[in-house]
């Protein structure tokens, strides 16, 4: 339920002496008051809708209409009475909320970027210092610059030396304990004969590093990983945690 309406608040008061207006002898002291009228939503000022120019007598809680000549006097000799900025509180709150959202989005983006480079540094170390049984998940493309229409290939490290890593194909029973968003897609990989009959193959470590995405905010083309056919982008390296009994 949206609560809206209008209200007013006090801006400024003037005494008769401040306006050089003589007081009646024995009469109650008179003060002149300017109030701001505003529309509100959920009692938060939305926008100003004019001012109330009034006067009060001491001991009387009622607000009476201010004479036009005194109103003119206040505007000309007292510099007038401006509209307070907080009459637009809802806009200020919306701008503040937008700024907070924008800054939070920037921080979130920075966290994603930091996480990306941390992961890439980790992947480079995993390539440089492989372990038998490491799993490499790659997307294969027919052309280097293509972004869609890839096949996913999963390779398992068999052996390695200082410059190269030897891979064999990885079958379903070898990755049943690895979590993937949609495991069903991987079943199709093993229906392809060339993957089932994949011969152990050595691939240069430097080529594998180049298959990683290089920059967070830039698209990286797929690269060749000879002697494999096609172009590849290395998406993930999975290493099983060592369980110490």
Round the average pLDDT of the chain to a whole number and report it.
Answer: 78
**Mean pLDDT value of segment 85-92:** 79
Greatest CA separation found in the chain?
113
Q: Which residues of 198-224 are buried (b: 16+ CB within 10 A; e: fewer)?
A: beebebebebbbbbbbeeeeeeeebbe
Domains of the chain, residue spans: 4-83, 109-238
pLDDT of 160-203, one tens digit each?
Answer: 999 999 987 654 333 333 344 444 434 344 333 334 445 678 89
Confidence at residue 162, expressed as pLDDT on a 0 to 100 scale: 92
pLDDT of 89-101, one tens digit each?
Answer: 878 888 888 888 8
Q: Name the more confident of 20 and 242.
A: 20
* pLDDT band at residue 128 under the 50/70/90 scheme: very high
18-27, 28-37, 101-110, 207-216: segment of lowest average pLDDT: 18-27
Cα(159)–Cα(165) distance, integer angstroms: 6
- By DSSP bridging, strand 64-65 and strand 44-57 are antiparallel
* pTM assigned to the model: 0.52
Residue 241 class from Cβ within 10 Å (0-12 exposed, 13-18 middle, 19+ buried)?
exposed
């Amino acid at each position: 339920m949206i609560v809206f309406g209008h209200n007013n608040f006090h801006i400024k008061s003037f005494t008769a002496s401040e306006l050089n207006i003589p007081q009646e002898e024995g009469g109650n002291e008179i003060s002149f008051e300017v109030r701001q009228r505003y529309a509100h939503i959920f009692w938060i000022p939305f926008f100003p809708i004019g001012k109330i120019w009034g006067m009060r007598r001491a001991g009387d809680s009622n607000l009476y209409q201010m004479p036009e000549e005194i109103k003119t006097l206040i505007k000309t000799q007292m510099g007038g009475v401006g509209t307070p900025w907080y009459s637009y509180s809802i806009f200020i709150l919306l701008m503040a909320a937008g700024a907070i959202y924008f800054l939070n989005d920037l921080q979130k983006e920075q966290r994603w970027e930091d996480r990306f480079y941390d992961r890439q540094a980790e992947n480079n170390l995993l390539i440089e210092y492989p372990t038998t049984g490491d799993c490499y998940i790659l997307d294969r493309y027919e052309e280097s610059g293509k972004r869609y229409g890839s096949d996913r290939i999963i390779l398992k490290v068999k052996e390695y030396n200082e410059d190269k890593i030897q891979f064999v194909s990885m079958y379903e029973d070898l990755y049943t304990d690895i979590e993937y968003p949609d495991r069903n897609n991987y079943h199709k990989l093993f229906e392809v004969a060339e993957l089932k009959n994949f011969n152990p193959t050595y691939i240069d470590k430097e080529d594998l590093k180049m298959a990683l995405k290089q920059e967070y905010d830039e698209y990286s083309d797929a690269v060749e990983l000879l002697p494999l056919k096609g172009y590849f982008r290395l998406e993930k390296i999975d290493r099983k945690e060592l369980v110490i009994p």
